[in-house]
Amino acid sequence: MSFKENVCQQISLDDSFLKLTERERNALEKLGAKIFADEIVDNLMLDLHLQYALHTTSFEEQPISDKTLSRFRKRCYNLVKCLKPA
Protein backbone atom coordinates (compact mmCIF):
# COMPACT_ATOMS: atom_id res chain seq x y z
CA MET A 1 0.00 0.00 0.00
CA SER A 2 1.49 3.34 -0.96
CA PHE A 3 1.23 6.60 0.96
CA LYS A 4 -1.70 8.83 0.13
CA GLU A 5 -1.78 12.30 1.65
CA ASN A 6 -4.79 12.88 3.88
CA VAL A 7 -5.67 16.44 2.85
CA CYS A 8 -8.84 16.65 4.93
CA GLN A 9 -7.23 15.35 8.16
CA GLN A 10 -9.84 12.65 8.70
CA ILE A 11 -9.02 9.33 10.29
CA SER A 12 -8.96 6.64 7.63
CA LEU A 13 -10.92 3.41 8.03
CA ASP A 14 -7.68 1.44 8.42
CA ASP A 15 -6.19 3.77 11.05
CA SER A 16 -4.23 1.78 13.64
CA PHE A 17 -6.03 3.57 16.50
CA LEU A 18 -9.34 2.07 15.39
CA LYS A 19 -7.83 -1.42 15.57
CA LEU A 20 -6.85 -1.11 19.24
CA THR A 21 -8.67 -3.21 21.77
CA GLU A 22 -10.50 -1.44 24.58
CA ARG A 23 -7.70 -2.48 26.95
CA GLU A 24 -5.10 -0.95 24.64
CA ARG A 25 -7.11 2.27 24.28
CA ASN A 26 -7.41 2.57 28.06
CA ALA A 27 -3.66 2.04 28.43
CA LEU A 28 -3.00 4.71 25.81
CA GLU A 29 -5.22 7.18 27.65
CA LYS A 30 -3.47 6.38 30.97
CA LEU A 31 -0.13 7.18 29.36
CA GLY A 32 -1.33 10.73 28.80
CA ALA A 33 -1.36 10.68 25.00
CA LYS A 34 -4.63 12.64 24.87
CA ILE A 35 -3.32 15.24 27.32
CA PHE A 36 -0.15 15.56 25.22
CA ALA A 37 -2.20 16.04 22.07
CA ASP A 38 -4.47 18.61 23.72
CA GLU A 39 -1.58 20.61 25.29
CA ILE A 40 1.05 20.43 22.52
CA VAL A 41 0.41 24.01 21.42
CA ASP A 42 1.07 25.28 24.94
CA ASN A 43 4.13 23.05 25.26
CA LEU A 44 5.58 24.45 22.05
CA MET A 45 6.06 27.84 23.71
CA LEU A 46 8.29 26.30 26.40
CA ASP A 47 9.80 23.10 25.01
CA LEU A 48 13.02 23.58 23.07
CA HIS A 49 12.81 19.96 21.82
CA LEU A 50 9.54 20.68 20.01
CA GLN A 51 10.81 24.01 18.69
CA TYR A 52 13.93 22.32 17.31
CA ALA A 53 11.88 19.55 15.68
CA LEU A 54 9.57 22.12 14.07
CA HIS A 55 12.46 24.39 12.99
CA THR A 56 11.13 27.35 15.00
CA THR A 57 13.95 27.94 17.50
CA SER A 58 14.92 31.29 15.99
CA PHE A 59 11.48 32.85 16.43
CA GLU A 60 10.90 35.19 19.36
CA GLU A 61 7.24 34.13 19.49
CA GLN A 62 6.33 30.63 18.31
CA PRO A 63 4.43 30.75 15.00
CA ILE A 64 2.00 27.91 15.63
CA SER A 65 -0.86 27.25 13.24
CA ASP A 66 -2.98 24.31 12.19
CA LYS A 67 -0.44 23.59 9.45
CA THR A 68 2.64 23.52 11.71
CA LEU A 69 2.13 19.98 12.96
CA SER A 70 0.88 18.73 9.59
CA ARG A 71 4.06 19.98 7.94
CA PHE A 72 6.12 18.33 10.69
CA ARG A 73 4.36 15.00 10.08
CA LYS A 74 5.04 15.36 6.35
CA ARG A 75 8.76 15.99 7.00
CA CYS A 76 8.87 12.91 9.24
CA TYR A 77 7.20 10.80 6.56
CA ASN A 78 9.61 12.05 3.89
CA LEU A 79 12.58 11.31 6.12
CA VAL A 80 11.42 7.74 6.78
CA LYS A 81 10.67 7.28 3.08
CA CYS A 82 14.23 8.36 2.20
CA LEU A 83 15.77 6.04 4.79
CA LYS A 84 13.79 2.96 3.71
CA PRO A 85 15.79 0.49 1.63
CA ALA A 86 14.58 0.21 -1.95
Give domain limits for the chain. Answer: 19-83
Q: Is pLDDT above 70 for 38?
A: no
**What are the Cα distances from residue 47, in Å, to 15, 31, 42, 44, 60?**
29, 19, 9, 5, 13
Q: Tell me the per-residue pLDDT of 60-77, one tens digit each, with 9 for 90 and over.
A: 888 776 677 777 778 888
Q: Output the pTM of the full model.
A: 0.43
Comparing 2-16, 17-31, 48-62, the range with the smallest average pLDDT is 2-16
Task: Please provide residue 5's backbone torsions phi and psi, each rounded to the nearest 5 degrees.
Answer: -60, 135
H-only helix segments in 2-85: 22-30, 33-46, 48-53, 66-83
